[in-house]
């Protein structure tokens, strides 16, 4: 059978059976791609789109579910990074890698897997440096700072946040605003009240000058709701409960209904404020109510860490009441 008859017969067979590809066709494309300059364009575009798909946050999904959904993209990223690329394409790919690995790090942070979160953030920072994108590097450093901040090492958090602020520079950006807000929280946690208040003022000033892209409600943006959440924690740690309550109310007014974790964290802040204001029983009651409403999927991560911080400072019966709830 000559070549044209063979191809015609094969096409007819494919049409009859509904097959989408002939044997060996996929392998042929891969071989041709390997020999062409810029042949990874499809995979590069797909990975760039992966950031768009995942950057929007949990949207009511538990962290473990989101992480599972990212697995195939991580496998593809690892494969594409192992291939040779032109310099410009490699820089773009490194930036994409910084974004995707940074998102994995955020999820691991929220799941309380501190060691893995540190590892993924270190990978994100390495990729951001390779890309030459200082704003991406500042974002990764600021996000990284939240791991030690939320899990008992505020001095390390302050150091990372300071590095993030230096990388972000003077122009208003989401990374700069985030770095200032995280710095405020870290400095408040180590007792540097004046430094914390200066960082609060900086975060507010930067947030006022963000454009729509920088203020977008994504893991890469710095939306107003996220701003109020950070300042709630800063003022809570500073013991300035009036300002903390105001930030909590503002954040809750902007919080989407599915934001289970955000609402729980704000309510834990409010519980700590009650303790600061001299009502440990009310603090324990509020924290227990939050904990009992919390879905099981959210009980092993960041909300537990925030609840345990409150538990450590509560006295007597209030301490015991919250402890029983956390142990249940």
In angstroms, the CA 17 to CA 2 distance is 23
Residues 276, 270: Cα–Cα separation, whole Å: 10
- For the chain, the residue count is 328
C-beta of residue 135 within 8 angstroms of C-beta of residue 151: no
Quick one: average pLDDT of 171-188?
Answer: 98
Which stretches of the chain are DSSP H helices? 3-17, 25-35, 41-54, 63-69, 71-81, 87-110, 114-131, 134-150, 154-168, 174-189, 193-208, 224-238, 241-254, 260-276, 280-293, 302-313, 316-327
Average pLDDT on 41-55 reads 81
pLDDT of residue 25: 59
What's residue 24's pLDDT?
Answer: 60
pLDDT for res 51: 79
Give pLDDT, residue 36: 46
Of 73 and 274, the one with more pLDDT: 274
Taking the domains of the chain in order of start, what are their residue ranges?
Answer: 40-132, 134-240, 259-328
Give yes or no for a contact between 280 and 314, defined as CB atoms under 8 angstroms apart: yes
Give the span between the Cα atoms of 261 and 60, in whole angstroms. Answer: 9
Does 67 or 200 have the greater pLDDT score? 200
Which residue pairs from 63-66 have beta carbons closer than 8 angstroms and sit at least 24 positions apart in sequence? 63/107, 63/110, 63/111, 63/297, 63/298, 63/301, 64/111, 64/297, 65/297, 66/107
For 194-250, what is each residue's pLDDT tens digit? 999 999 999 999 999 999 999 999 999 999 999 999 999 999 999 999 999 999 999
Average pLDDT of the segment spanning 253-269: 86
- Encoded tokens for 255: 């919080």
Instruction: Output the pTM of the full model.
Output: 0.82
Minimum mean pLDDT range among 23-37, 45-59, 186-200: 23-37
* Residue 28, Cβ density class (10 Å: 0-12 exposed, 13-18 middle, ≥19 buried): exposed
Measured CA to CA, the distance from residue 186 to residue 265 in angstroms comes to 17
């Amino acid at each position: 059978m000559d070549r044209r008859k063979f191809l015609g017969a094969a096409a007819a067979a494919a049409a009859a059976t509904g097959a989408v590809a002939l044997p060996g066709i996929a392998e042929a494309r891969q071989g041709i791609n390997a020999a062409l300059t810029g042949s990874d364009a499809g995979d590069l575009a797909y990975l760039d789109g992966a950031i768009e798909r995942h950057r929007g946050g949990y949207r009511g999904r538990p962290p473990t579910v989101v992480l599972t959904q990212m697995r195939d993209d991580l496998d593809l990223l690892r494969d594409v990074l192992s291939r040779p690329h032109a310099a410009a394409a490699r820089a773009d790919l490194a930036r994409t890698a910084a974004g995707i690995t940074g998102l994995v790090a955020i999820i691991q942070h929220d799941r309380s897997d501190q060691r893995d979160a540190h590892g993924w953030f270190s990978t994100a920072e390495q990729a951001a440096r390779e890309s030459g994108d200082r704003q991406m590097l500042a974002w990764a450093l600021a996000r990284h700072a939240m791991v030690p901040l939320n899990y008992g090492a505020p001095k390390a958090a302050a150091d990372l946040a300071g590095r993030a602020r230096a990388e972000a520079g003077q122009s208003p950006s989401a990374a700069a605003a985030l770095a200032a807000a995280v710095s405020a929280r870290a400095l408040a946690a180590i007792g540097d009240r004046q430094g914390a208040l200066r960082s609060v003022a900086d975060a507010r000033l930067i947030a006022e000058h963000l454009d729509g892209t920088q203020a977008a409600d994504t893991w890469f943006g710095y939306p107003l709701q996220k701003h109020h959440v950070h300042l709630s924690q800063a003022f809570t740690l500073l013991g300035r409960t009036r300002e903390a309550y105001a930030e909590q109310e503002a954040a809750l007014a902007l919080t989407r209904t599915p934001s289970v974790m955000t609402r729980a964290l704000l309510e834990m802040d409010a519980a700590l404020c009650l303790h600061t204001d001299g009502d440990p029983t009310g603090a324990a009651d509020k924290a227990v109510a939050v904990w009992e409403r919390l879905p099981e999927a959210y009980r092993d991560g960041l909300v537990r860490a925030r609840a345990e911080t409150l538990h450590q400072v509560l006295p007597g019966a209030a301490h015991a009441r919250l402890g029983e709830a956390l142990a249940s």
